[in-house]
């Protein structure tokens, strides 16, 4: 049996280099080693921290263009990658109902990631039941597909731990049904944004997008914050901003940190930024070209989404049947 992974993203906009370094490369590695990859575009989760969700359809395409441009490959049947839209796989909502019954409220109330996100979105007493319970919904995203591994960022670890606890409870209370999946966290340090102090993220307006053109790249790198001093040295503790830019340069050029330090010894930040702009454009150019090709063929992309979503639903039906049997709700004399 091939290894199976499941992971995904909220469709809130195009993906940036932080996504690339942190999660896309990990998915590509699994895909290219022959794993079955299930990738969920989690549109319900967009609704957890906002009410205006009118851009979601557009953003599903944006995320999909980025996936395809970096090489996630749902057309090659050898590569077994399935990309699907959460709200269009009703088996996920079915499974959520069952899982919610074995999840203590005290547990969801303690989830640190939910607390942080609710705070960041200033939800206060307006926090919805959907926000509170989305980790249980995410447990359904995962358990419906019985994956071995879940490649995620650190912030998702509480959700994976909760998923495992829910699976364990269900298995113990009813019948051994779910395999316990394991989180895989990339060991590459998180990219900082262009402000040089916070994690790269869309909401902080400090990101370099995979879809950025060369003008945007030049402007963003020229105005990127650096640290005091002038030496290009990799030292995340003392030179966080420069170290993060060096990580980007490493990604774009393929050079390791020592080679980069040697290249810019005694030359200062100015030349480093010039070379960084060149390297980034060189790195992004093929991604941009592929992205452009898919963006002009939305019909093909839509078809891939439909196919992936159908495949996910079919796969989900199998697990759901086992869940119904486990709780004795298969009602085979009626239906």
Q: Which residues bind ligand TRP (CB under 6 A)?
A: 6-10, 40, 42, 45, 138, 141-142, 150, 152, 156
The least distance separating ligand TRP from the CB of residue 171, rounded to whole angstroms, comes to 19
The least distance separating ligand TRP from the CB of residue 94, rounded to whole angstroms, comes to 16
The least distance separating ligand TRP from the CB of residue 42, rounded to whole angstroms, comes to 4
Q: Which is nearer to ligand TRP, 37 or 245 (CB)?
A: 37
In terms of Cα–Cα distance, which of 331, 332, 324, 263 is closest to 94? 324
CB-based closest residue to ligand TRP = 42
Do 245 and 48 touch, CB atoms closer than 8 A? no
In terms of Cα–Cα distance, which of 131, 130, 66, 140 is closest to 102? 140
Q: Which is nearer to ligand TRP, 27 or 275 (CB)?
A: 27
The least distance separating ligand TRP from the CB of residue 289, rounded to whole angstroms, comes to 27
How far apart are alpha carbons 90 and 320 in whole angstroms?
A: 11
The least distance separating ligand TRP from the CB of residue 303, rounded to whole angstroms, comes to 23
Structure tokens at 233: 């040295």
* Residue written as token pair 């079915």: 94
Q: Which is nearer to ligand TRP, 28 or 242 (CB)?
A: 28
Contacts of 281 (CB under 8 A, 6+ apart): 214, 217
Q: At what angle do helices 90-100 and 157-173 cross, to 10 degrees?
A: 70
């Amino acid at each position: 049996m091939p290894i199976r992974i499941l992971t995904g993203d909220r469709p809130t906009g195009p993906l940036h280099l932080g996504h690339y370094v942190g999660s896309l490369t990990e998915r590509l590695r699994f895909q290219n080693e022959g794993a079955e990859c299930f990738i969920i575009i989690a549109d319900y989760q967009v609704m957890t921290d906002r009410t205006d969700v009118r851009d979601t359809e557009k953003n599903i395409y944006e995320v999909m263009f980025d996936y395809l441009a970096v090489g996630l490959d749902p057309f090659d049947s050898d590569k077994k990658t399935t990309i699907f839209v959460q709200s269009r796989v009703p088996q996920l909502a079915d499974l959520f109902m069952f899982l919610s019954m074995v999840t203590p409220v005290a547990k969801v109330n303690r989830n640190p990631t939910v607390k942080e996100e609710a705070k960041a979105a200033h939800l206060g007493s307006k926090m919805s039941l959907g926000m509170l319970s989305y980790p249980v919904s995410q447990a359904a995203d995962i358990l419906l597909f019985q994956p071995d591994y879940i490649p995620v960022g650190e912030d998702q670890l509480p959700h994976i731990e909760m998923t495992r606890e829910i699976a364990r409870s269900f298995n113990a209370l009813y019948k051994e049904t779910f395999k316990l999946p394991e989180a895989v966290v990339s060991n590459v340090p998180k990219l900082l944004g262009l402000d040089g102090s916070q994690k790269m993220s869309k909401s902080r307006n400090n990101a370099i997008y995979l879809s950025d053109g060369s003008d945007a790249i030049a402007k963003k790198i020229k105005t990127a914050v650096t640290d005091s001093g002038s030496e290009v040295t990799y030292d995340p503790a003392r030179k966080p901003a420069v170290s993060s830019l060096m990580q980007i340069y490493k990604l774009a050029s393929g050079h390791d940190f020592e080679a980069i330090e040697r290249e810019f010894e005694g030359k200062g930040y100015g030349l480093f930024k010039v070379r960084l702009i060149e390297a980034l454009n060189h790195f992004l150019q093929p991604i941009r070209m592929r992205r452009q090709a898919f963006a002009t063929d939305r019909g093909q992309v839509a078809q891939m989404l439909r196919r992936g979503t159908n495949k996910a639903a079919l796969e989900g039906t199998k697990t759901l049947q086992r869940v119904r049997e486990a709780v004795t709700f298969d009602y085979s004399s009626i239906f």
